[in-house]
Amino acid sequence: MSELPLEPLPPRNPLGPGVVVLGRFQPLHKGHANMIIAAESWRSSNSKDQPLIIAIGSSNQPQSIRNPWTYQERILMLEIWLNSVGIEAALVPIPDLEDPPNWVAHAEKYHGVSGTLFTSDAKSAELYGSSGWEVILSELENREKFQGWRVRATAQMMSTIGDLEAVRSVLASSVPKEVVSFLIDNDSIRRLAFMGEGGEPVG
C-alpha cells in the first residue's frame, strides 16, 4: 500500500493551546453537532481564554464510501452549521498518519499543543491522556443512531432518489438541516451511488 501524502502540510504557526474536538465529519451529523455544542459549553465555563478547535481528520484520504467528501467540503459543512448555531471555532484539517502511537505528536503540528481534548472516543482519550493532555470524556447521546457508517449508508440509499424533499426528510433525522441542504444543493450526495458498498463499521 502506497504511503499517503501529508495533505495539507502543517501550518507554520499551529493553533493552540485550545479545546480540541477531533472527528472525520463524513458527513457532519447530529452526534458531532451535539459534541461540539457540549465542548463549547465546557470551554465557555472552564477555559474561556482558549479557542475551540475542530480538527478534521483523514484530510489526505482518497474519496471512497468511507471518505466521500473532501476536507474542503467538510470545512464548508462545519462553517455553515457553526454559523447557524452561533459558535466560533478554528477548523484544522489533519492528514492520517496510520501510526497511532505517534498520532498526537503528529496532530499537535496542526492543532497545537498542551490543550484539552473533548471527546466521546475512549481510544482518543487514552492517546491524548498519555501524551499529557487534559481529556474531557463525554457521553455521546444516541450513539447507535449517530454513527458515521450508518449515516453514510442511509445517504447512499437515498443517493439515487429523485424526490429531494424525501431525501431531505430522511437525512434530517441524523444530519443537521443546514448540512442536508449543503449535500443536496451541491449535489455531492449523488456521488455515493457510485462508491462501492456501504455498511462498514467505522466512525
101 with 120, same domain: the answer is: yes
Structural domain containing residue 156: 148-191
- Is the same domain home to 58 and 154? no
Residue 133, SS3 per DSSP: coil
Let me know whether 36 and 99 are in one domain: yes
DSSP state string for 53-102? EEEE--TTPPPSSSS-S-HHHHHHHHHHHHHHHT---EEEE----S-GGG
Q: Is residue 202 part of a domain?
A: no
Rounded CA gap, 120 and 42, in Å? 14
Whether residue 52 is found in the same domain as residue 122:
yes
Cβ neighbours of residue 186 under 8 Å, at least 6 residues apart? 73
Number of domains in the chain: 2
SS (H, E, C) 123-171: HHHHHHHHCCCEEEECCCCCCCCCCHHHHHHHHHHHCCCCCHHHHHHHH
Domain annotation covers residue 5 = no
Same domain, 94 and 161: no
160 and 82 co-located in one domain: no
In this structure, the answer to whether residues 45 and 117 fall within a common structural domain is: yes
CA distances from 72 to 107, 123, 149, 150 (A): 18, 26, 20, 22
Please state, in angstroms and rounded to a whole number, the distance separating the CA atoms of residues 111 and 109. Answer: 6
pLDDT for the residue numbered 15: 84
Q: Are residues 28 and 126 in the same domain?
A: yes
C-beta separation of 85 from 67 below 8 A: no
Nearest alpha carbon to residue 192 among 71, 29, 64, 27? 64
- The answer to whether position 197 is within a domain reads no
Q: Are residues 48 and 95 in the same domain?
A: yes
| 103 and 41 housed in the same domain | yes
Residue at 113 is within a domain: yes
pLDDT tens figures, 93-126:
999 998 989 999 999 999 999 899 999 999 999 9
How would you class 102 by CB atoms within 10 Å of its CB: exposed for 0-12, middle for 13-18, buried for 19 or more? Answer: exposed
Q: Is residue 164 part of a domain?
A: yes
Residue 91 lies in a domain: yes
With 0.75 as the threshold, say if the pTM is over it.
Answer: yes
50 DSSP assignment: S
Segments of the chain with pLDDT less than 50: 1, 198-203
- Residue 177, domain member (yes or no): yes
- Whole-number pLDDT of residue 122: 92
Residue with cell 481529556: 135
Examine the domain organization and report whether 157 and 72 are in the same domain: no
Q: Is 27 within the bounds of a domain?
A: yes
Same-domain pairing of 164 and 74: no
Q: How high is the pLDDT of residue 141?
A: 66
Judge contact between 135 and 147, C-beta under 8 A: no
